[in-house]
Homo-oligomer: A and B are copies of this chain.
Amino acid sequence: MDSIVNKVLDEIDLQILDILQKEGQVSNTEIASRVKLSPPATHARVKRLDNEGYISQRVSILNQEKLGFDLLSFIFISTNLHQAEQLEVLESALESMEEVLEFHLLTGEHDYLLKVMNKDRKELERFIRKLNKLGITRIQTSLSLREIKYSTVLPIWGQE
């Protein structure tokens, strides 16, 4: 046995979640046949998993290249802000920017990592200028030359 998970989710629930996280489009009927349950029973489980918050959202992943997004950057930023309010302002400002795809507080003193998607260098430059106005003291930008893997799939069966 593994963790808390198995106390509320059985094997079939995990199977369903794993199907959904890999193929969001698959029909309830199809899931039912794969987990060897009737469609209504399966549907009830999916609904339960949804209501209980195991499924955060269903989305379509668009093709970055075909839509002209050629410039993915990872930007480390540091700040010398210390008051909680100031940090909150900074965080909500960055969070609301659509080009910011991910935003993490990292270990260390007020070090953040941003994953930023832009169409081109000009847009990235504009973005970095916006950062400068927010009380950020240090900015270190790394460009992604090639995205080797991009997955939203959690390794729910563990790894060996």
Contacts and interface: CB of A to CB of B under 8 A. Distances in A.
A interface secondary structure, majority: mixed
Contacts of A22: 59
A63 B57 CA distance: 9
A154 B3 contact: no
Contacts of A58: 23-25, 58-61
Contacts of A152: 59, 61, 101, 152
A60 to B, nearest CB: 4
Contacts of A62: 17, 20-21, 54-56, 154, 156
Contact of A63 (B56, B59, B91, B148): B56
Nearest to A72: B104
A55 B61 contact: yes
Contact of A153 (B63, B101, B108, B154): B101
Contacts of A155: 98-99, 117
B54 A63 contact: yes
A106 B154 contact: no
Interface residues of A, number: 71
A149 B66 CA distance: 24
Contact of A148 (B74, B91, B119, B151): B91
Which 7 residue pairs of A and B lie closest in terms of their CB atoms, listed nearest first? A98-B155, A24-B58, A103-B149, A20-B60, A103-B148, A104-B144, A25-B58
